[in-house]
Amino acid sequence: MLKLLFLAALCASCMARPGVMHYSFDPAVGTGSGTSFSSAGSGGRITAVRVWEATNAYITGIQVRYDYIWSRVFGRVYSTVHELNLFDGEVIVQVSGKYHTNYIYQLTFVTSRGRSMMVGQPYQRSFNFYTRYEDAELILLSGRYNSAGITSLAAHWGVVPQNTTDTTSM
């Protein structure tokens, strides 16, 4: 009888949805030469993205903000910055663009509200990164860069746990 009760509890816990944490990964596009990077933040949610491009050319730098803290710039700051600030509850659900043998040439970030930011030039091969799970979002970017710009890019998707303490109701 105890074994049957244990088996029933085990099956019920496996079927419980709230504990499931989804994760997926889109492998890097580009040559991958240069210094590796990961935008991994302090465990918070991505709230903004900055991208720099060489005028009419390739992506030179990327920076990600987690909650209120900016990561360092990966690549280099060059020319005008393009910035996408997310609204409360808005997340990045797609990253797409173009790449060639030496650099990432174009990046497009799409949000859960249908907003987007496109930076760079539509040159050469396309890529399209997106979450495999409805409740997941972009949690970090990784790749490589050299002294001129971003040479490869990958996307990591997952579920960011909700803050368990609500300070607005106190």
Task: Tell me if 167 is assigned to some domain.
Answer: no
Is 8 part of a structural domain of the chain?
no
| 15 in any annotated domain | no
Helix (H) or strand (E) holding 10: helix 2-15
88 is written with which tokens? Answer: 């409360």
Long-range CB contact pairs, 18-22, < 8 A, 24+: 21/158, 21/159, 22/131, 22/132, 22/133, 22/135, 22/136, 22/157, 22/158, 22/159
**Residue 6 included in any domain:** no
pTM, two decimals, is 0.83
pLDDT in tens, 30-78: 988 999 999 987 778 999 999 999 998 999 999 999 999 999 999 999 9
Domain span including residue 26: 21-158
Condensed to tens digits (0 to 9), the pLDDT of residues 75-94 reads 999 988 999 999 999 999 99
Within its chain, how far is the Cα of 73 from the centroid? 15
Q: Is 101 a domain residue?
A: yes
Nearest to 38 by CA among 74, 83, 84, 70: 74
Residue 9 lies in a domain: no
Residue 53 maps to a domain? yes
State the CATH number of the domain containing residue 41.
2.100.10.30
Overall domain count for the chain: 1
Q: Is residue 166 part of a domain?
A: no
